[in-house]
Amino acid sequence: MTYRRVPWFLLVTLSACFVMPPVAPTYTPVDPAQQRAAYAQSLGYPTRKTPQELEQTIAAQTEGFELTGRPSELRLEAPAPFVFEGVSGTCYTVVMRLAPGAAWGPGAEAGLRFDFRRPEIAGSGGPGVVGPGAVASVGCAEASGPITLTMAPTIGTDPIGQGALQLELYRRVLTRAERRRLAEDRERQIAEQRVFAAQQAEREARAREEREAAFAAGRAEERSSARASSAASGPTSVSVTIRSSCARTVKVFYGDTPRFGSGTTSSVSSNSVSSRRFRVGDMMWVLDDRGEGASTVSQSTRTIEITASCTGLTSR
C-alpha cells in the first residue's frame, strides 16, 4: 500500500470546512393547548366531573337561597351577558346547566372565568365549571341596580361550547344583623384605607423633608468651602448690583434655603436697580407663590438679574 503526503494547506482548508456555526437560541412560544391541559389537570378536569358532583356543588352554594324569576337560556357559541336587577342587601348565585345536546368546548376545559359587575363594584365569582354545568356567585349587593355576569375561557380564546346553557338565579336576603356586619366591615375597610393613605402621605412628607435638609446641608458645605478658599486667596465679600427685569415686585430671600436655612426675606421692585454686599458663597433666591426657592446663585458675582419671567436669576 502506498501513502501520499497531503499538503498542509489542504488540511487547513478541509478543517475550516467542517467548523460548525454557532446555533442561535430559538424562542419556543407557549402552546395554549398544552397550557390549558396542564391547568385542567391541576383543577381535576372541571368539565369531566359528574352530574352528581354538579348537584352537590349547587346544593352547597345555594343553601339558604331561594329560586327567583324565570330560568334564562343563552347559546354557548356566542354567550351573551346575563343581566338582572339586583336589590341592596341581597346575595345572588347563578346556577347553570347544559341543555340536552349541549357540550362544553375546548375553551372550557380549564374552567371558565365568571366576571360580574354590580352597581358598586366589579369582581369574579365561582366556583365555576363543574361537569355538565357551572355555578357563579356575584356576592351581596350593597346598592340596587343592574348586575351583569359574563363568561370567558380562563386560558386562550377557543370556543367554550356548543348548544344551549340554562341559567337559574338564586337569591338570599341578608338579615338585619348580617347587613350591620357588612356595613361595619365596609366602614372598617374605608378606615384602614384612610389610615394607610395618611401614613403614606406622612412617609412621603418625611422623605421630602430629609431630601431638602440634605440639600441644604450640602449647599452649606459648599459655601463653607468657597469661603475658606476665598479667605486664602482674596476678599471675603463683594458688592453686587441687583437688577430686576420683572414687571412686578417679587419676593427674594438672602441666605440658606428659605424653608430650612437662616437669612432675610425681602422684595425687589419691578424694573429696579439696587446694590447689596454679599459674602463669597452667599445665596440669593427668588421666591415663588409657595415661598420656595425657584432658583439660586451661589458664586461671587458683580451683577444678579431677576429675569423677565419673575422666577429665575442670571448672574454675571
Whether 210 is covered by a domain: the verdict is: no
Answer yes or no: are the C-beta atoms of 276 and 270 closer than 8 Å. no
My answer on whether 171 and 248 are in the same domain is: no
Whether 208 is covered by a domain: the verdict is: no
Residue 106 domain boundaries: 33-177
Residue 38 in grid coordinates: 396542564
Q: Which long-range contacts (CB under 8 A, 24 or more apart) does 213-218 make?
A: 213/260, 215/257, 216/256, 216/257, 216/260, 216/261
Distance CA 138, CA 124 (A): 7
Phi and psi for 126 in degrees, rounded to 5? Answer: -135, -160
My answer on whether 45 and 114 are in the same domain is: yes
Tens digit of each residue's pLDDT (9 = 90 or more) over 212-268:
777 777 777 776 776 666 555 555 677 888 888 888 888 888 877 776 666 788 888
Report the pLDDT value the prediction gives residue 18, as an integer from 0 to 100.
42
Residue 152 in grid coordinates: 370567558
My answer on whether 167 and 37 are in the same domain is: yes
Q: What is the CATH number of the domain that holds 290?
A: 2.60.40
Whether 26 is covered by a domain: the verdict is: no
Whether 21 is covered by a domain: the verdict is: no
Whether 166 is covered by a domain: the verdict is: yes
Number of structural domains found in the chain = 2
- Predicted TM-score (pTM) of the model is 0.54
Report residue 168 CA to chain centroid gap. 37
Q: What is the CATH number of the domain that holds 48?
A: 2.60.120
Report the pLDDT value the prediction gives residue 212, as an integer from 0 to 100.
78
Whether 10 is covered by a domain: the verdict is: no
pLDDT mean across residues, the chain: 82
Whether 65 is covered by a domain: the verdict is: yes
Distance CA 123, CA 118 (A): 8
Domain end residue (candidates: 109, 143, 177): 177
